[in-house]
Chain A
């Protein structure tokens, strides 16, 4: 891992290419979120107004009219399509995602900011844990493919992998919250506890997020395990591994430094791409366990016709994913001495 070795002319070319790709994705994504509402057969502002008018509160017509005006103003639905497009980009660069319609006038960015740590915390830890566990088990299974236990491991992984993650969420919920009630079934922490870096809070969080995290790790391990196992069984037949085995290099050294180190490289890229899916959120997991992350607030936004929140989340996710993929792409050459930056 030598920095001097990596930073050369070709690295900057690579950097430029990756940044360009990131910009392209953001461009396509934001344009998409701009076009979709304008192509849809419904008008979200009217829908919100309808919802408000059929609600339990009385609404005065003048209030509705000025609200409608304000909304049209806010979403730049005035003016031609071109003007609106430029206005959208202007707001994007200002970081202004508008106010949430359900918790007016609280800005959407504020809501996202509050929800983000939960989703990122949950998904980042489970992604890394399942990557580590899956690769370790998969590497061992691939290297010792002649032993009996590997067949069982492979079978289990193959059975778990196709099962959608929410099944595990449901099963764990049923078993550990109803049948054998050890864990709480909703919220990210106990209500009475004060937020912040205090021990009681952290313990409470761990207690509440254990089951959702477990369901996500179980789902995730299978994929990494099988991928690693396939990689390892290919690498085991490579010349340099056979050579080292012939020469009597210690098994532990071969497993760690010859097999795993080479197999982990493609898995790292995979991890990078997987990190990007954090922003899709484990929607149903959050829903089932009541974790107030991005997935859950997206759901609530849909149900309560909160247009600005949904738009904000879409934009945020697009940018978030592109940037994380970019970061991983840029870190990769430092781990792979043989990577040709092409």
Chain B
């Protein structure tokens, strides 16, 4: 493990960037618990101050310290993404593996429903829900909703892997040896399924945060609960650009870009490492 980490660190710029980005996110996450201000309280500090040592990201037109607000906002957004990713993993694994192992008519039926959920347009349905629930929407429910809409693509991937595993000789051998089905699934097959689960987790994570930010920017979520999108929403409400408080917009946008890009590049680096073909095709140093 350590060898892999140091190997990746030395060779892959993407990996380095990703690790730096994650470290930053973790740092902000931890700091958020030490924030001296309540996140959405207004006028606790002088308003519209540009970034300085006293206020690292400056202050907003509502008299809030942007740096401490961003730590909480980032924490909430990350938690949101994590909850969605975790819940949708559970559904995806369950559906994918059950359909794959069961096969037959049940598999066909499940996949038909699965594909329907892939095709269904997520945003209009989300908007409909937003319309109906409004301020009563708390972020946990929203995360669950996104989990309910985000599993089908990954379920298909898992099912495909399960199907190919079933065909493999080592599975037949295990069955012949009298290994109980549950043990086969957990001991023999799960190690092959895990990389897929892992690869799709980061994507799912980013997707759900992206959606949350989209809705928050428009002010359609609970705007009193700090998240990255909510901060941007308030910045827009107060015409941050025109009134000159550019840092109010720059901080959330910059952090979004940094964290998103970092996580994504990390996923790319790890995928390259896991895939044996990319390892072989990398240029060799002359012996």
Contact = CB atoms under 8 A, between A and B. Distances in A.
Given A29-B120, A276-B119, A164 B133 contact: no
B256 A302 contact: no
Contacts of B256: 163-164, 167
A133 interface: no
Interface residues of B, number: 45
A211 interface: no
A42 B14 CA distance: 47
Nearest to B109: A24
A44 B131 contact: yes
Contacts of A233: 281
Interface string A130-148: 0000000000000000100
A283 B128 contact: no
A280 B122 contact: yes
Interface stretch (B24-32, B60-68, B84-92, B258-266): B258-266
Nearest to A27: B116
Contacts of A41: 133, 136
Contact of A281 (B113, B123, B125, B277): B123
A162 B218 contact: no
A32 B125 contact: yes
A100 interface: no
B277 to A, nearest CB: 8
B143 interface: no
Nearest to A44: B132
Contacts of B264: 158, 161-162
Nearest to B116: A25
Interface string A154-179: 00001101111011001000100010
B249 to A, nearest CB: 7
Contact of A325 (B119, B124, B249): B119
Contacts of B274: none
A284 B124 contact: no
A312 to B, nearest CB: 10
- Report whether over half of chain B's contact residues are helix, strand or loop; otherwise say mixed: helix
B202 to A, nearest CB: 9
A262 interface: no
Contacts of A170: 249, 253
A314 B125 CA distance: 6
B268 interface: yes
A218 interface: no
Contact of B124 (A44, A158, A162, A298): A298
A279 interface: yes
A118 interface: no
Contacts of A305: 131
B154 to A, nearest CB: 15
B261 A159 contact: yes
Interface in A286-341: 287, 298-299, 301-302, 305, 307, 310-311, 313-314, 317-318, 320-322, 325
B131 A164 contact: no
A287 B218 CA distance: 9
B119 A301 contact: no
A313 B130 CA distance: 14
A300 to B, nearest CB: 11
B116 A28 contact: yes
Contacts of A279: 121, 124
Contacts of A266: none
Nearest to A159: B261
B117 to A, nearest CB: 8
B144 interface: no
A40 interface: yes
A321 B120 contact: yes
Interface residues of A, number: 55
Contacts of B117: 28
B121 A298 contact: no
Interface in B45-103: none
Contacts of A322: 119
B217 interface: yes
A253 interface: no
Interface string B191-209: 0000000000000001000
B220 interface: yes
Interface string A33-57: 1001100111010010000000000
Given A279-B121, A317-B121, A318-B121, A166 B128 contact: no
A319 to B, nearest CB: 10
A277 B123 CA distance: 9
A163 B127 CA distance: 22
Nearest to B115: A21
Given A158-B14, A162-B261, A163-B260, A284 B253 contact: no
A36 B149 CA distance: 14
27 contacts: A20-B112, A28-B113, A28-B116, A28-B117, A28-B120, A36-B128, A37-B132, A40-B133, A146-B283, A159-B261, A161-B264, A162-B264, A162-B265, A163-B260, A164-B214, A166-B213, A166-B217, A167-B257, A280-B121, A280-B122, A283-B123, A284-B217, A287-B218, A302-B220, A305-B131, A310-B127, A311-B128
8 closest residue pairs by CB, A with B: A162-B264, A40-B132, A280-B123, A317-B124, A25-B116, A162-B260, A317-B121, A314-B124
Given A146-B283, A320-B121, 14 more contacts: A36-B132, A42-B132, A162-B261, A162-B264, A164-B260, A167-B257, A283-B218, A284-B217, A298-B124, A299-B127, A302-B127, A302-B130, A313-B127, A321-B119
Interface of B: 14, 112-113, 115-125, 127-134, 136, 206, 210, 213-214, 217-218, 220, 241-242, 249, 253, 256-257, 260-261, 263-265, 268, 277, 281, 283
